[in-house]
């Protein structure tokens, strides 16, 4: 307890947050930092609390100033990654649709395609992966969808 009190007193508790209260203090002091919000999401994921991580992302969208588009896009990317790894196809598509309403839709789809491309690379490099075919199909479908949506844009 005394070590924790000392860390709080000298300000080093914010360097390595260990509890939800530490993260709450960080986001209160720096609400426009996507890095802090994403670390807070990762904290909840480390506890296998996916719904809380989603809630943190939604809080970030409300708290980050509207002028900070890049910061918000970073949080959207983290949420899309969360849905890709832990969500369903439906939840991923709903998140893509929501992200496209609040950001440049082409940028959102490009980021999702990049994530899916990395997932295909990871599946192809792992030995005995039966998910390669499904992952490749998912990536191909998303890429075709993106090309169809943005065929007039370069």
pLDDT digits (tens, 9 = 90+) for 14-54: 567 888 988 998 999 899 999 999 999 999 999 999 999 99
pTM for the full predicted model: 0.84
Cα separation, 112 vs 36, in Å, equals 22
Let me know if 82 is exposed, middle or buried by CB neighbors in 10 A (0-12, 13-18, 19+).
Answer: buried
Block residue for tokens 């910061």 = 71
Cα separation, 69 vs 19, in Å, equals 28
pLDDT digits (tens, 9 = 90+) for 24-34: 989 998 999 99
With a pLDDT cut of 90, the percent of the chain lying above it is 60
Cα separation, 63 vs 1, in Å, equals 32
Block residue for tokens 């395609």 = 113
- The length of the chain is 154
């Amino acid at each position: 307890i005394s070590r924790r009190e000392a860390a709080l007193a000298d300000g080093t508790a914010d360097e390595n947050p260990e509890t939800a209260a530490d993260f709450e203090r960080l986001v209160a002091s720096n609400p426009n930092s996507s890095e802090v919000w994403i670390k807070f999401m990762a904290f909840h994921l480390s506890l296998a609390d996916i719904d809380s991580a989603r809630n943190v992302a939604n809080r970030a969208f409300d708290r980050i100033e509207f002028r900070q588009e890049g910061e918000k896009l970073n949080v959207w990317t983290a949420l899309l990654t969360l849905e890709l790894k832990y969500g369903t196809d439906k939840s991923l598509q709903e998140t893509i649709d929501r992200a496209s309403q609040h950001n440049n839709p082409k940028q959102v789809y490009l980021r999702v395609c990049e994530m899916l491309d990395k997932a295909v690379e990871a599946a192809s490099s792992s030995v005995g992966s039966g998910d390669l075919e499904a992952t490749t199909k998912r990536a191909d479908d998303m890429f075709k969808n993106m090309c169809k949506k943005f065929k007039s844009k370069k």
